[in-house]
A and B are shown apart, each in its own frame.
Chain A
Amino acid sequence: MVMSAALEEVTMEAPLRLVEPVRIGAASAEKVSGSFALKDVSVAYGNETVIAGVNMLVPSRAVTALIGPSGCGKSTLLRCLNRMNDEIGNVRVGGAVTLDGLDIYQKSVDPVDLRMRVGQVFQRPNPFPMSIYDNVAFGPRTQGVRKREELDAIIEAALRDAALWDEVKNHLKKHAFELSGGQQQRLCIARALATKPEVLLMDEPASALDPISTQQIEDTIAELKDMVTIVIVTHNMQQAARISDQTAFMLRESMDQPAHLVEVGETKRLFTNPDDKRTESYITGRFG
């Protein structure tokens, strides 16, 4: 079939720009899953192509950071991975995005199912107007979990993984809006984890938070990367350097041309010895 041919091509050629292999998480003994391969990915809003020619691998059980100046399409690229761009009218995604070898844009893939495997945390905390418990139970309930004990267990596990359990275990019935901004964001992480995703997408998850809350989110990410693949968009280069294993630098060089991937590689190497002059200029603060 046409689809499988396209897939093989991706797996064959995907490591194009990946200079050196990235450490795969400690959990390599068990079935490694949740890795993306992007092959010549482009995104167009109407007639305007905003991203073009992105080739990269997102390794399983590791943190991949997307960095670049404002408006370079980081968030748009992130939303390609769980097809949230579908929800904005008039957006076309070209090329191939595969999750563990499966083309997520083929017709038989329902974005609703995809999003249970690929969770997302947004820039601003967006808890639902309901209790802490109901927020975390939201995804599992959608998946059909009804039994109280089962839900309780999922919720405790998700809140523990999001490092929020100790703070809220006696207040699960409280309204989510009573939490602080940082707690709300960790609640949103717990909510995303409760559907047991393989990948967690984070769109500048700490940009609306104070330094202490940011620190807590970063600690949480470090804890989580043995469980899920994390792709994080961040404006903060120190943050990318601190928490990620692999970094991808995107740039839109002028408004006339689409954004593209300048360089992707192991974080340590990219920040100390970048291949590209533009990467070097950006990480040393010369623009952006």
Chain B
Amino acid sequence: MTVTPTEKAGRLTGRTTRRRAAEAVIRTLIYTAGLLSIVILLAIAVFLFVEARKSIAEVGLGTMLSGTQWFPTGTPRIFGFLPLIIGSLMVTGVALVVFVPVGIGAAVFISEFSAGWFKEVMKSVIEFMAAVPSVVYGFLGVAVLIPWVKATFGLTSGMTALTGGLVLGVMSLPTVISISEDALHAVPDALRQGSLALGNTRWQTIYKVVVPSASSGIFAGVMLGLGRAIGETMAVLMLTGNAAVIPTNVFESVRTMTGTIAAEMGEVVFGGLHYSVLFSVGLVLFGITFTINLAADLVLERQRKRWRR
């Protein structure tokens, strides 16, 4: 069969046009998906701000942020966020102390010291840990940890910042472990070989070469774990005792920002001042997590530039 030059050209151009159209459609879809996440984020911020407007106007953001007392239903009503902010930070701090060493240690163990079926089982177990609902962690804390903390430290109540923080630390572990493990796994084997060939032990190789090489990924894992811990609601609500007083140490009961919103939102007058104040709490929480993520991104970006990788 002979094909004339015009037919050939026709086939070529026809195909090109169709392909271009398909490309354009796909590109538009991808752009839309990308933009959507930005739009949603902005919408959340705007929505929080709109609902919080009333409280900012009547109480004032400065007064709320610097207030040391939280009596939302007393007379007069006092809306000071400091007990809640400090409560959240304290619980998160305890969680950080738990999940940084344990999380990085577990990631190193899985990545560097286990292999084959055992490694796969370990990874599945970690993933399963993430799938357990937070209320179940709360139950576990109530049944096991509260009595243990009470008995061990000789306290009148086992519902403390420590209790909540320990459980939060465990809950954040899957995030920290899987992201750190990915980062360690991505370190080229050539670096391990290079270090071993220089007469380093396996352990020296890990802490002098492998972990530093994966540090940006590990850092990202820790930051995400931090975000998970500070935003967690149900478990802390069940475990920290929820006393809205500025704590002086981790053996005291605390109330977190998330716990406050969850506990009080059901009881407030819709559209009222207390309702609006809770949105201000949400706004502060949003600001804190946003800042943490932004800071993490900046650190990672700087490291990436320096390493040119």
* Chain B residues within 8 Å of A139, by CB: 198-199
Task: Map CB proximity to B onto A116-151 as digits: 1 under 8 Å, 0 otherwise.
Answer: 100110101011111000000011001100000000
Docked complex Cα distance between A128 and B208 (Å)? 10
A-B contact count, CB below 8 Å? Answer: 69
Q: Is A195 an interface residue (CB 8 A)?
A: yes
* Chain B residues within 8 Å of A192, by CB: 197-198
**B156-203 CB contacts (< 8 Å) to partner A:** 188, 190-191, 193-201
Q: How far is the CB of A78 from chain B (nearest CB, A)?
A: 11
* Chain B residues within 8 Å of A191, by CB: 194, 198
**Of the residues B191, B200, B306, B307, contact of A126 by C-beta under 8 Å:** B191
Q: How far is the CB of A99 from chain B (nearest CB, A)?
A: 14
User: Of the 9-residue stretches A42-50, A81-89, A262-270, which lies at the interface with chain B?
Assistant: A81-89
Q: Is B245 an interface residue (CB 8 A)?
A: no
Q: Is the interface of B mostly helix, strand, loop or mixed?
A: helix
B198 contacts A87, C-beta separation under 8 Å: no
Question: Nearest CB to that of B209 among chain A residues?
Answer: A128
Q: Is A188 an interface residue (CB 8 A)?
A: yes
Docked complex Cα distance between A87 and B190 (Å)? 12
Docked complex Cα distance between A24 and B191 (Å)? 34
A126-B198 contact given A142-B204, A175-B306, CB 8 Å threshold? no
Docked complex Cα distance between A130 and B115 (Å)? 28
* Chain B residues within 8 Å of A127, by CB: 194
Q: Is B18 an interface residue (CB 8 A)?
A: no
Q: How far is the CB of B171 from chain A (nearest CB, A)?
A: 32
Q: Is B212 an interface residue (CB 8 A)?
A: yes
* Chain B residues within 8 Å of A126, by CB: 188, 190-191, 193-194
A119-B197 contact given A124-B190, A178-B308, CB 8 Å threshold? yes
Task: Map CB proximity to A onto B69-111 as digits: 1 under 8 Å, 0 otherwise.
Answer: 0000000000000000000000000000000000000000000
Q: Is B11 an interface residue (CB 8 A)?
A: no
Question: Nearest CB to that of A113 among chain B residues?
Answer: B199
By the criterion of a CB under 8 Å from any partner CB, how many residues of chain A are at the interface?
Answer: 29
- Interface core residue of B188, B197, B199, B200 (most chain A CB under 10 Å): B197
B194 contacts A128, C-beta separation under 8 Å: yes
A142 contacts B199, C-beta separation under 8 Å: yes
Q: Is A109 an interface residue (CB 8 A)?
A: no
Question: Nearest CB to that of A128 among chain B residues?
Answer: B209
* Chain B residues within 8 Å of A129, by CB: 191, 212-213, 307, 309
Q: How far is the CB of A265 from chain B (nearest CB, A)?
A: 28
Q: Is A115 an interface residue (CB 8 A)?
A: yes
* Chain B residues within 8 Å of A177, by CB: 307-309
A195-B199 contact given A89-B115, A138-B208, CB 8 Å threshold? yes
A138 contacts B195, C-beta separation under 8 Å: yes
Q: Interface on B for A, CB 8 Å cutoff?
A: 115, 188, 190-191, 193-201, 204, 208-209, 212-213, 306-309
Given A122-B193, A128-B195: 15 more A-B contacts, CB < 8 Å? A87-B193, A112-B199, A112-B201, A120-B193, A126-B188, A129-B191, A138-B195, A142-B198, A142-B204, A143-B199, A188-B194, A192-B197, A192-B198, A195-B198, A195-B199
A-B contact pairs, 28 of them (CB 8 A): A84-B196, A87-B196, A112-B201, A113-B199, A114-B199, A115-B196, A115-B197, A115-B199, A119-B198, A122-B197, A126-B188, A126-B191, A126-B193, A128-B191, A129-B191, A129-B212, A129-B213, A130-B212, A139-B199, A142-B198, A142-B199, A175-B307, A175-B308, A177-B307, A177-B309, A188-B194, A191-B194, A191-B198
